[in-house]
Amino acid sequence: MSHRSLFHFVLAALAVCFVISDKASAKSAADRDVYKGVVVPILRAKCYQCHADVSDNPSGKKKIKGKLELTSLELMKKGGDEAPAVVAGDLEESILLMRINLPHDDEEHMPPEGKPQIEDNELKVLEWWIKAELPVGKSMKDAGAPDDILAAVEALPTDEEVKDALAKMYAQAGASAARLAAARDAMKNPIAEVSGHFPNSIGFISQQDSDLTFTAVSMRKDFNDEHLEKLSPVSAGLVDVNLSATSITDAGAATLGKMSRLRKLWLNGTGITDSGLDALQSLTDLEYLNLYGTEITDAGLKKLAGLKNLKKLYLWQTKVTPGAVEEFKKSVTDCDVNMGIKVE
């Protein structure tokens, strides 16, 4: 599994976990217990990760934001720092609903950004429950749930299904975190070796990543093809390399061609010419390439036509013509080619 971002993995896992299975629930919507069988699964799936003690928190850790626990009706009525989470019969005074209904970009919105959001059918059920005076210990039918609410409940997972999904998700996230830690640990010595040559120039893309970024911007013309070869110990992990305004030439491009996972490459202001682009043809993951201020011509641009993942290409102040760019766009259709500002 790629370690590009553990954060994105968790989001993907959550999206999969909360897709409801086709199997029928043990009980029909009408027979499910209002609180334990309907409300609790919603809150467990979407709220307990931030508002539950160890015993109920799916992460296995105590996390009670704003001193608000949502794991029992009594605790919800008690509320946290601000007000009761739910008030029987009163939607406007129930802070749980107020937070859910805030715009998603509001810092007070619940669940917070990056967490699975309350879906329309779940919100509809929660609103009905509050308006119905917070029934507990009754079936949906006995609590007087109308047909539209029963239909919404039919689409909801049972509490056991939610528990199973959360357990699997956290197990997968834990395994992914372990792989990430191992990958980062394996790069320690190679990074130390490169850092010995170029202090403060190499590092991980983020704390949730094992991919590497390197920049020679501070060295500028003092960084040349011979220096580029010293990146060999980390070449397999590099995804971003910034060689802007350095002394890199076509000879150094051969080293770049071995960095097979490169996604972003800055060669603006270097000595790269059409000949140097031969080595870049193998960089099929490349998404961003800056060739501003180089001697690249139409012939060189043709060599990049196989880079189908390219999204941004800077050709300002090169010898590439508009006609060649139009031809290039027929092969790399999703690429934004920047030719700079036209002076009329």
Query: Which residues, listed in sequence order, are joined to residue 202 by a DSSP beta bridge?
Result: 214
Encoded tokens for 151? 């239909």
The one-digit pLDDT tens for each residue of the chain (344 residues) are: 444 444 444 444 444 444 444 444 468 999 999 999 999 999 999 999 999 999 999 988 999 999 999 999 999 999 998 889 999 999 999 999 999 999 998 999 999 988 899 999 999 999 999 999 999 999 999 999 999 999 999 999 999 999 999 999 989 988 998 999 999 999 999 999 999 999 999 999 998 899 999 999 999 999 999 999 999 999 999 999 999 999 999 999 999 999 999 999 999 999 999 999 999 999 999 999 999 999 999 999 999 999 999 999 999 999 999 999 999 999 999 999 999 865 44
- Nearest CA to 167 among 44, 80, 267? 44
**Residues, the chain, total?**
344
Q: Tell me phi and psi for residue 19, to 5 degrees.
A: -80, 125
* Whether this model's pTM surpasses 0.75: no
Strands 51-52, 63-64: pairing is antiparallel
Give me the pLDDT at residue 21, please.
Answer: 44
The radius of gyration of the chain from alpha carbons, rounded to an integer in Å, stands at 28
Taking the C-alpha atoms of residue 228 and residue 255, their distance in angstroms, rounded to an integer, is: 7
Taking the C-alpha atoms of residue 76 and residue 84, their distance in angstroms, rounded to an integer, is: 6
Chain centroid offset of residue 136 CA: 38
Half-sphere exposure (Cβ direction) of 148: Cα atoms closer than 13 Å = 8
Single-letter residue type at 163: K
Where along the chain do its domains lie?
Answer: 6-179, 187-338
Taking the C-alpha atoms of residue 187 and residue 108, their distance in angstroms, rounded to an integer, is: 39
Taking the C-alpha atoms of residue 274 and residue 182, their distance in angstroms, rounded to an integer, is: 40
Residues 202, 195: contact at Cβ < 8 Å?
A: yes
Give me the pLDDT at residue 213, please.
Answer: 98
Taking the C-alpha atoms of residue 296 and residue 269, their distance in angstroms, rounded to an integer, is: 11
For domain 187-338, the CATH architecture is Alpha-Beta Horseshoe (3.80)
